[in-house]
Protein backbone atom coordinates (compact mmCIF):
# COMPACT_ATOMS: atom_id res chain seq x y z
CA UNK A 1 0.00 0.00 0.00
CA UNK A 2 1.21 3.47 -0.78
CA UNK A 3 -0.02 6.49 1.12
CA UNK A 4 1.04 10.05 0.36
CA UNK A 5 -0.05 13.17 2.24
CA UNK A 6 -1.16 15.96 -0.10
CA UNK A 7 -0.66 19.52 1.18
CA UNK A 8 -0.84 22.85 -0.54
CA UNK A 9 -0.63 26.44 0.65
CA UNK A 10 -3.19 27.29 -2.05
CA UNK A 11 -5.97 25.82 0.14
CA UNK A 12 -6.74 26.30 3.84
CA UNK A 13 -4.49 24.38 6.23
CA UNK A 14 -6.12 21.69 8.38
CA UNK A 15 -7.35 22.91 11.76
CA UNK A 16 -7.26 19.57 13.52
CA UNK A 17 -6.14 15.95 13.23
CA UNK A 18 -6.69 15.60 9.48
CA UNK A 19 -4.96 16.42 6.19
CA UNK A 20 -6.17 18.16 3.05
CA UNK A 21 -5.92 14.98 0.98
CA UNK A 22 -4.36 11.52 0.85
CA UNK A 23 -3.26 9.69 -2.29
CA UNK A 24 -3.47 5.94 -1.67
CA UNK A 25 -3.21 2.70 -3.54
CA UNK A 26 -3.86 -0.84 -2.39
CA UNK A 27 -6.90 -2.80 -1.29
CA UNK A 28 -9.61 -0.34 -0.27
CA UNK A 29 -11.74 -0.99 2.81
CA UNK A 30 -14.97 0.97 3.11
CA UNK A 31 -16.19 0.91 6.71
CA UNK A 32 -19.86 1.67 7.26
CA UNK A 33 -20.81 4.43 9.65
CA UNK A 34 -20.42 3.31 13.25
CA UNK A 35 -22.53 4.51 16.12
CA UNK A 36 -21.79 3.95 19.84
CA UNK A 37 -23.32 0.49 20.17
CA UNK A 38 -21.76 -2.01 22.54
CA UNK A 39 -21.00 -5.02 20.30
CA UNK A 40 -21.96 -7.50 23.03
CA UNK A 41 -25.21 -6.04 24.36
CA UNK A 42 -26.30 -3.93 21.37
CA UNK A 43 -27.00 -1.08 23.82
CA UNK A 44 -26.03 2.55 23.26
CA UNK A 45 -22.94 3.55 25.24
CA UNK A 46 -22.76 7.00 26.86
CA UNK A 47 -26.29 8.31 26.41
CA UNK A 48 -26.04 12.11 26.25
CA UNK A 49 -22.20 12.07 26.47
CA UNK A 50 -20.46 12.72 23.14
CA UNK A 51 -17.03 11.89 24.60
CA UNK A 52 -18.12 8.43 25.74
CA UNK A 53 -20.00 7.89 22.49
CA UNK A 54 -16.98 8.88 20.37
CA UNK A 55 -14.76 6.50 22.35
CA UNK A 56 -17.15 3.63 21.57
CA UNK A 57 -17.42 4.62 17.91
CA UNK A 58 -13.63 4.62 17.60
CA UNK A 59 -13.43 1.22 19.33
CA UNK A 60 -15.99 -0.15 16.86
CA UNK A 61 -14.05 1.27 13.91
CA UNK A 62 -10.81 -0.17 15.26
CA UNK A 63 -12.37 -3.64 15.62
CA UNK A 64 -13.69 -3.60 12.04
CA UNK A 65 -10.39 -2.33 10.66
CA UNK A 66 -8.54 -5.09 12.56
CA UNK A 67 -10.89 -7.72 11.12
CA UNK A 68 -9.91 -6.44 7.66
CA UNK A 69 -6.19 -6.48 8.50
CA UNK A 70 -5.97 -2.70 8.84
CA UNK A 71 -5.15 -0.13 11.53
CA UNK A 72 -6.03 3.52 12.06
CA UNK A 73 -2.79 4.50 10.28
CA UNK A 74 -4.21 2.88 7.12
CA UNK A 75 -7.29 5.14 7.13
CA UNK A 76 -7.25 7.65 4.28
CA UNK A 77 -10.67 9.32 4.72
CA UNK A 78 -13.23 9.75 7.49
CA UNK A 79 -16.63 11.36 7.64
CA UNK A 80 -17.95 12.46 11.02
CA UNK A 81 -21.64 13.10 11.54
CA UNK A 82 -22.58 15.10 14.65
CA UNK A 83 -26.05 15.77 15.98
CA UNK A 84 -24.78 19.10 17.34
CA UNK A 85 -21.69 20.93 16.02
CA UNK A 86 -21.24 22.31 19.55
CA UNK A 87 -19.94 18.79 20.36
CA UNK A 88 -17.10 19.18 17.83
CA UNK A 89 -14.32 19.94 20.34
CA UNK A 90 -15.21 16.99 22.58
CA UNK A 91 -15.46 14.59 19.62
CA UNK A 92 -12.24 15.96 18.13
CA UNK A 93 -10.32 15.42 21.40
CA UNK A 94 -11.15 11.70 21.31
CA UNK A 95 -10.61 11.45 17.54
CA UNK A 96 -7.16 13.06 17.89
CA UNK A 97 -6.08 10.24 20.23
CA UNK A 98 -6.29 7.88 17.24
CA UNK A 99 -4.83 10.04 14.45
CA UNK A 100 -1.56 11.99 14.54
CA UNK A 101 -2.01 15.39 12.85
CA UNK A 102 1.01 14.92 10.58
CA UNK A 103 -0.33 11.80 8.83
CA UNK A 104 -4.03 11.81 9.75
CA UNK A 105 -6.60 11.00 7.05
CA UNK A 106 -8.63 13.51 5.09
CA UNK A 107 -11.86 14.29 6.94
CA UNK A 108 -15.28 15.87 6.61
CA UNK A 109 -17.42 16.73 9.63
CA UNK A 110 -21.06 17.73 9.33
CA UNK A 111 -23.99 18.41 11.62
CA UNK A 112 -27.06 16.35 10.83
CA UNK A 113 -30.62 16.63 12.06
CA UNK A 114 -30.83 13.05 13.32
CA UNK A 115 -28.70 9.92 13.61
CA UNK A 116 -29.72 6.27 14.07
CA UNK A 117 -31.06 5.53 17.57
CA UNK A 118 -30.75 9.27 18.29
CA UNK A 119 -27.02 9.00 19.07
CA UNK A 120 -24.77 12.06 19.12
CA UNK A 121 -22.04 10.88 16.72
CA UNK A 122 -21.47 8.52 13.81
CA UNK A 123 -18.18 8.02 11.96
CA UNK A 124 -17.38 6.15 8.74
CA UNK A 125 -13.98 5.62 7.17
CA UNK A 126 -12.05 4.39 4.17
CA UNK A 127 -8.72 2.58 4.60
CA UNK A 128 -6.16 1.26 2.12
CA UNK A 129 -3.90 -1.73 2.81
CA UNK A 130 -1.28 -3.60 0.82
CA UNK A 131 -2.64 -6.26 -1.49
Query: Which of the residues 31, 57, 109, 120 is marked catalytic?
Result: 109
CA gap 123, 91 in Å, rounded: 10
* DSSP assignment of 34-55: E-SB-TTT-PBSSTT-HHHHHH
Q: Is 125 labeled as catalytic in the residue annotation? A: no
90 neighbors 46 (Cβ within 8 angstroms)? no
Q: Which residues form the catalytic set? A: 109
Amino acid sequence: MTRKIIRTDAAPAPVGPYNQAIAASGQMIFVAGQIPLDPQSGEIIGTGDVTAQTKQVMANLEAILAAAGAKFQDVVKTTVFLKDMNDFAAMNAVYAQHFDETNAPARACVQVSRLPKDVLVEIECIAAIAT
